[in-house]
């Protein structure tokens, strides 16, 4: 995977542009935030996450969708259960993934972070394909944005601990970090 420095788009990802973004302030991209999402909750491969991030979700299709009908959110990337990567927002733009948040005393993490959603829940493990794709994408993001060091990779729960629990207790941080570190030299 390669991140185009001029556009901020990953050339190997499926592109599914979201309207839910705005310009970043002049700030170095220095944080990677890992999330989880499934729509409806606990159901996978529905295409609903993509619809949600594009403001095209049919809110009458499931009772849960009414609760999120007015939300306007996005992430830079989604990694599906099979490892497929979709990009919604250029890395050069501010995706709306973190909400009210703080990292090391600095608020509004959307200003300086990249958000990656893993298709999943807090209640079950992620797939081998997701860990592989996440490690590959992480290495490319670190190559393009060197301020994203291992200590500046966190979960949504770390930057919004009262509000959020993702990526959840089934996310294997040790496995993920080892996978990223084992192939640091690969491009």
**Integer Rg of the chain from CA:** 15
Q: Tell me if 144 sits within 8 A of 5, measured CB to CB.
A: yes
Choice among 23, 80, 107, 117 that is catalytic: 117
The verdict on whether 117 is a catalytic residue reads yes
14-182 CATH fold = Lysozyme-like (3.40.80)
pTM for the full model?
0.96
Residue 87: both structure tokens together: 């990009």
Q: Where are the alpha helices (DSSP H) in 18-164?
A: 48-53, 128-144, 156-159
Omega of the bond prior to 58 within 30 degrees of 0, cis? no
pLDDT tens string 131-173: 999 999 999 999 999 999 999 999 999 999 999 999 999 999 9
User: What is the per-residue pLDDT for 157?
Assistant: 97
- The predicted structure's pLDDT at residue 185: 43
pLDDT of residue 183: 73
Question: What is the residue whose two structure tokens read 């949504």?
Answer: 156
């Amino acid at each position: 995977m390669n991140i185009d420095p001029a556009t901020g788009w990953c050339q190997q990802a499926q592109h599914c542009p979201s309207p839910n973004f705005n310009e970043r302030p002049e700030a170095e991209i220095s944080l990677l935030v890992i999330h989880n999402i499934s729509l409806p909750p606990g159901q996978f491969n529905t295409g609903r996450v993509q619809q949600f991030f594009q403001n095209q979700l049919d809110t009458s299709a499931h009772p849960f969708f009414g609760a999120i009908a007015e939300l306007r959110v996005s992430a830079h990337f989604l990694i599906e259960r099979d490892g497929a990567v979709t990009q919604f927002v250029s890395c050069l733009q501010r995706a709306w993934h973190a909400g009210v948040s703080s990292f090391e005393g600095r608020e509004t993490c959307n200003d300086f972070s990249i958000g990656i959603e893993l298709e999943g829940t807090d209640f079950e493990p992620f797939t081998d394909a997701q860990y592989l794709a996440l490690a590959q994408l992480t290495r490319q993001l670190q190559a393009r944005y060197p301020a994203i060091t291992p200590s500046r990779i966190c979960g949504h729960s770390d930057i919004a601990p009262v509000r959020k629990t993702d990526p959840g207790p089934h996310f294997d941080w040790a496995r993920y970090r080892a996978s990223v570190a084992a192939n640091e030299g690969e491009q």
